[in-house]
Amino acid sequence: MSPALDALEQLSSLSQAMLADARNSDWESLLAHEAQRRTLVEALPADLAAKLAAAAQDEARALIEGCQRCDSGIHALVASRQAELRVVLRQPEAGQKGEPTPAGGRP
């Protein structure tokens, strides 16, 4: 296997791990895998397609498309978690029954 395809295989594995992390709500692992993936992406040559034989380009395309599908799934799960957190972290309006009012303010 060429070094470029090997790097794309690693990228695919990290993307799949990130998707599993998001499904399991393991946000710390997701961040760690994302940092590893970012380092790998930054090391990929800009002319990656030119470094691949024609036969390997189809495999590379499939690997990249798989990574994009994982990214889409990760994005959806992260967006859902962010929405959950917004609800949990939503502050009650000041002055509601039983709630403290702001310092120096009126209910």
Q: Can you give the CATH number for the domain in which 82 is found?
A: 1.20.58.380
Contacts of 71 (CB under 8 A, 6+ apart): 15
* The pLDDT of residue 15: 97
The CA distances from residue 104 to 1, 100, 101, 107, in Å, are 69, 11, 8, 10
Residue 62, domain member (yes or no): yes
For residue 95, tell me if it sits in a domain. Answer: no
Domain-located, residue 83:
yes
Answer whether 82's CB lies under 8 Å from 90's CB: no
- Collapsing DSSP states into helix, strand and coil, what is residue 32? helix
Assigned domain for 59 exists = yes
User: Structural domain of residue 51, as residue ranges?
Assistant: 3-87
Domain annotation covers residue 93 = no
| 67 within domain boundaries | yes
The 10s digit of each residue's pLDDT in 13-22 is 999 999 999 9
pTM: 0.76
d(CA 63, CA 60): 5
Domain membership flag for residue 80: yes
What's the total number of domains in the chain?
1
Helices (H), 1-107: 3-23, 27-43, 54-89
Low-confidence ranges of the chain (pLDDT < 70): 1, 91-107
**How high is the pLDDT of residue 27?**
94
